[in-house]
Every structure is written in structure tokens, then in C-alpha cells.
Structure 1
């Protein structure tokens, strides 16, 4: 009798294991499909051949065209310039399963890209196209991080990955990978910002952008004699603090 119960228990456990395994495999396949074809999860679109916005709710075509045109114009003067193909911007709404899937590495972030998977795709948490604002968990995000800021920042990530390739992009130090997009979106750090960073002041994101210290460091390194964007992208050095930025090129540039 005991052996029969044991065999029955084993069969039940094996069946449950197969069921759980099948569910997990199905979820993984579903996520992979969505990451490769996110348009399947968004019913509404607006924009043009340069920037298309996609969302679960209807979007204003006029507002989408205006937002896209402003961001595209700003990209003209960025380190990598604008892309030569359409950019698709997916608005997850900031909550729900779409946000959890597409923002899984950083659910708190305003925007995210995966340049090693696609150099055409941006995910934003939520937007007010008419106001030109990204909407965070506590409401519209104030200047200087407006919608144009986020679009330019994220497009610069895509252009960076497109320019150097996925492996080199992954090897880029964090301060370079985030400092360059903030320079693209906000301009080089000014002397007051650099002085504050050097003094160890706390630099508020709502005042100086998402990555103020990284922007300071990238600005300072780019100002070094003989430094340019190509050499900056080849740097392989961590940023210990802003005061180390002035010495980084001497340590690693050939």
C-alpha cells in the first residue's frame, strides 16, 4: 500500500513539475516575442516616419508630430546625430504588465532602451504628448527633463549602440554611457555645475538632469587636450568621483 502511495505521489509531483515548467516556458516565450515585436501589445499609434509613438490609448497625431519634430531637431547637434531610420516609442503607462515586462531591469526609470536587441526601440513609462511631458509616479516630471529630454537621451543610447556595436556598448563605463546622452539632451555641464560636483554637493536630478555627475565627468574628459568622442568611447576606466575625472584620460588613453 505504501509503495502505491509513493508511486502516486511521484506521479503527482512529476505532473506538477511538468505543468509549472510548461507555464514558465510559455511565459519566457511570450516575453521574448514581446521584446522582439512590442507593437503586438500596443493598439494605438501616432507620428511620422521619424518618430512613431505607440500606446494602449488613443494618441493625438498633432501632438505626436510636434513632439517628434522637436526631438528630431535636437538630435541634429548631438554627438552621434539623428538616426537614419524610424524610431518607435512605446508608452507603457507606468503600471500593469506591459510596464513590468518592458521595464523589468528598472521599473522606476522614466525611459529605457535595449540597444543590444534593437536600435530602433524606446520605452517610456507614460507621457502627456500635448504638454510635452513625461509622467512619473507622482505626476508630470518638471524641467529640465521634459519629453524632448527623454527622447534625445534615449535616442542617443540607441545611436551609441548602433555606432560601436553591442559588445562595445556593454563594455562602455556607466559614466560614459549615461554622461553622453545627458550632454546630448542638456548640453555640456556649465562651470557652476562642475564646481558644485567637484565640491561634493548633492546634485538634484530635477534640477540638473538624470545623470548630473556623469555629465560633469564626460564634459571634463572631453575638454582634455587630444580628447574626442571616438577616444572617449574607448575609455575603460570607472568614475570614482567627479574629482577623478580630470585624471582619467592620462590613465587610459593610448
Structure 2
């Protein structure tokens, strides 16, 4: 039997490599320029909103609330713009959410600063959760929270570099986005007590909530008064920070 030549084998490998590179490039282009897949657009203040369904009028109140929350961050400036895409259909959420069908919102840094959200009930200022039943911390996480949380990731990228999510720890990135997203709706003392009591809500992996990360960031910014940019420049080891939080007693 005649064996394929080494030259032909290398050519086949090159063709496969080129095909994969082309497919990856196409996917990145789809993520970066999704506008053709969304039929409805609305511009309001600093936000450009796209959706695959008509955008309800109450979106202005939702965006006003998101702006209020964003203004609590030192990273916020009124000149910044935010591009939000609401993926009401499942296939769009999977495509633009990097195949995470349960995600509430996502910014795929460093590839793009676009904000992708799951199906939303704009009139009620809420996202539609991926599973039936009550959503954890629904009161503290309306639709405005998700917009603000992801917009904070956009601001983090602009302030600390597009690779911020790869360079800095998740507890800092997500904890700060949760802090800004909740717009002050967070009880430091209560959540510290929950962490020390091993409340399941403070377990990020089990609950899917960023309460513990929020507590860590709030402690550094509010209790220890560490400026945000200094915290990003020199974040403490999370293990040591958690050990400290486990023992501290507030007056």
C-alpha cells in the first residue's frame, strides 16, 4: 500500500489549521459586530440598545437607574458609551454568550466591549432566569443591575487594560462589578456575618452569586479605605483576605 507523502500530510494539516483560524476569525467578527442579527435599536443617553424584539418604553427608566448606579464608580465618566444587546432568543444568547445558556449577562473581554444580556422583561425591570422558580437576590439584581454590572466590566477594561480579566483576580473584577451594580444596596455587616456563619449564599460556586466577592472588595474600599486604583495595582492574596474576614469582629 502506498503511504501518503510527508508533503501531502503537511498540506492537509495546514488546510485544517487555516480552516480553524478562519472559523475563529469569523466568530470573533460575529461577536464584535452583532448588529445585523438584532432588528431593533434604541439610543438613550450613553446607551445604544439592540434587541431581537421590540424595545419597551420603560427601558428609559431602567437605563436611568443603571446610570445612577454607574455614577457611584470613580471609573465612570459621562462621555463613555455602552452597547447593549438583549438576546431574547436562546440561540442568540448561546452564540453571543460563548455558549453559556445560563448566563445573565456577559462582556467578552478582551475581544469586544459589547454587553450581551439574556431575555429580559423590560416593563418589570428584570431578566428572565434560565430556570423556573424564584431567582436568588432578585430584588437586589433587577435588569438595571445586570446592565450596570456588565458596563462596569467595560469601564474596568478601559481603565485597567483590555486584558484586565486575565491579569486581575476574579474576586476583584466581579466583586467590584457587583458593588457598582447594586448601587449601594449591600449591608457589609450582614454579609460579613453570613460569611462567618458559612451561609451558602456566600459560596460563589454553589449560589452563583458574587456576595462574597462583593464583601471582599467592599471591605478593602470602604473599611480599609484603599483607593480602587491602588487595589488594582496591589491586590492582596484572596486567601489572606478571607482569613482576615473570618476572624474580624465589628464594633
TM-score, shorter chain, exceeding 0.5: yes
Matched, 1:220 2:219: yes
User: Which one of 113, 136, 148 corresponds to residue 129 of structure 2?
Assistant: 136
Matched, 1:90 2:89: no
Q: Which position in structure 2 is the counterpart of 1:179?
A: 175
CA contact (8 A) 2:49 2:84 kept: yes
Shift in Å at residue 37 of structure 1? 0.7
2 CA distance for matches of 1:168 and 1:21? 29
After superposition, residues 1-254 of structure 1 pair within 5 angstroms as 24=20, 26-60=22-56, 62-82=57-77, 84-93=79-88, 95-96=90-91, 98-104=92-98, 106-119=100-113, 121-138=114-131, 141=135, 142-186=138-182, 187=184, 188-203=186-201, 210-225=209-224, 227-240=226-239, 243-246=242-245
Q: Which runs of 5+ in 2 are unaligned?
A: 247-251
Q: Which position in structure 1 is the counterpart of 2:249?
A: none
1 CA distance for matches of 2:16 and 2:110? 30
2 CA distance for matches of 1:112 and 1:50? 19
2 CA distance for matches of 1:226 and 1:44? 44
2 CA distance for matches of 1:78 and 1:149? 14
Q: Which runs of 5+ in 1 are unaligned?
A: 248-254
Q: How many residues align?
A: 236
Q: TM-score, normalised by structure 1?
A: 0.78
2 CA distance for matches of 1:38 and 1:76? 28
2 CA distance for matches of 1:126 and 1:241? 39
RMSD: 3.2
The structure with the largest alpha-carbon Rg is 1
CA contact (8 A) 2:28 2:111 kept: no
**SS in structure 1 opposite 2:64?**
helix
1 CA distance for matches of 2:58 and 2:208? 24
CA contact (8 A) 1:44 1:59 kept: yes
Q: Which position in structure 2 is the counterpart of 1:251?
A: none
**SS in structure 2 opposite 1:45?**
strand
Deviates more, 1:177-186 or 1:78-87: 78-87
2 CA distance for matches of 1:115 and 1:82? 20
